[in-house]
Amino acid sequence: MQRLAVIFALVLCGAARGQDAEKLAPYYPTPLVIVEKMLDLGGLKAGEKMFDLGSGDGRIVIMAAQKYHADATGVEMADDLYRQSMQKIRSLGLEKTARIIHGDIFKQDYSSADLLTVYLLPVSNDKVRPLLEKQLKKGTRIVSHDFPFRDWTAEKEITIEDDGEGRSHTLYLYRR
Ligand SMILES: C[S@@+](CC[C@H](N)C(=O)[O-])C[C@H]1O[C@@H](n2cnc3c(N)ncnc32)[C@H](O)[C@@H]1O
Buried b (16+ CB within 10 A) or exposed e, 87-97: ebbeeeebeeb
Q: Which domain holds residue 9?
A: 2-175
Q: What is the pLDDT of residue 22?
A: 74
pLDDT tens digit sequence for 97-109: 999 999 999 999 9
Residue 82 has pLDDT above 80, yes or no: yes
The SS3 call for residue 150 is: coil
Q: Whose C-alpha lies nearest to ligand 1, atom 4?
A: 56
Provide mean pLDDT across the span 69-97.
98
Protein residues whose CB sits closer than 6 Å to any atom of ligand 1: 22-25, 27-30, 52, 54-56, 59-60, 75-78, 81, 104-105, 119
Instruction: Quote the pLDDT of residue 2.
Output: 54
Q: How many domains does the chain have?
A: 1
Question: What CATH number is associated with residue 130?
Answer: 3.40.50.150
Q: Which amino acid is at 122?
A: P
The conformation of residue 31, written as its DSSP 8-state character, comes to P
